[in-house]
Amino acid sequence: MADIVNGSADVVGVLTQKLPTQSGTSAKGNAWERTDIILSLDSNGNFPINLCIELFGERAHIADNIPLNSRVRVGINLSSREFNGRWFSSIRGWRIELDNGMQPQMQQPMGPAAMPNAMPNPMPQPQQPVGPPTFQQQPQQQMQQPQQPAAPVDPAAFDDLPF
């Protein structure tokens, strides 16, 4: 997904919605504007991952010229704050640009071949490929019926409630 450094990251996805701009006045009398955009992230065919990104203040209109269903890269800040014992998180966008389609290159694993002066790994590596765990079906055991009590039990005899 994205590397988060000091609460900032870049996310790449498809701009699927632009919600209406909201505006108001703060308690201090300052005017503010806010626009929320919905970014759909690539989930490799699994469940869709959607992010609601808030564009606030002077950045409320930075997505106005970006067409819907465009692949974009959005610079975001992640933050959480506590209010009256509850925590609230926000994703604020500060930059949006059309993505040129370049996929980030995966870094090659660093191993002894990549670092000629490195010491060998003291832990032996597994020789078998690691994959999803395999499960063997256990034979089903026949369910036993609960046994009935031998004599009827008087419920009042076990009433230990104080009222």
- Each residue of 16-40: pLDDT tens digit? 999 999 999 999 999 999 999 999 9
Rounded CA-CA distance 127/111 in Å is 16
Q: Which of 5, 13, 26 is nearest to 101 (CA)?
A: 13
Q: Which of 52, 15, 56 is nearest to 35 (CA)?
A: 56
Q: Enter the tokens of residue 47.
A: 């469940």
Residue type for position 13 = G
Domain CATH for 27: 2.40.50.140
Q: Does a structural domain hold residue 50?
A: yes
Report pLDDT digits (tens) over 59-109: 999 999 999 999 999 999 999 999 999 999 999 999 999 987 654 433 333
Residue type for position 74 = V
Q: Does a structural domain hold residue 151?
A: no
Q: Does a structural domain hold residue 125?
A: no
Q: Does a structural domain hold residue 145?
A: no
Q: Does a structural domain hold residue 136?
A: no
Q: Does a structural domain hold residue 14?
A: yes
Report pLDDT digits (tens) over 119-134: 444 444 445 445 555 5
Q: Does a structural domain hold residue 63?
A: yes
Q: Does a structural domain hold residue 128?
A: no
Q: Enter the tokens of residue 163.
A: 């009222």
Q: Enter the tokens of residue 70.
A: 């465009």
- Specify the number of domains making up the chain: 1
CB atoms within 10 A of CB 102: 8
Mean pLDDT of 5-13: 84
Phi and psi (nearest 5°) for 57? Answer: 70, -130
> 31 lies in which domain range?
8-98
Report pLDDT digits (tens) over 134-155: 545 555 555 555 555 555 555 5
Residues 32 and 57: beta-carbon distance below 8 Å: yes
pLDDT score for 110 = 40
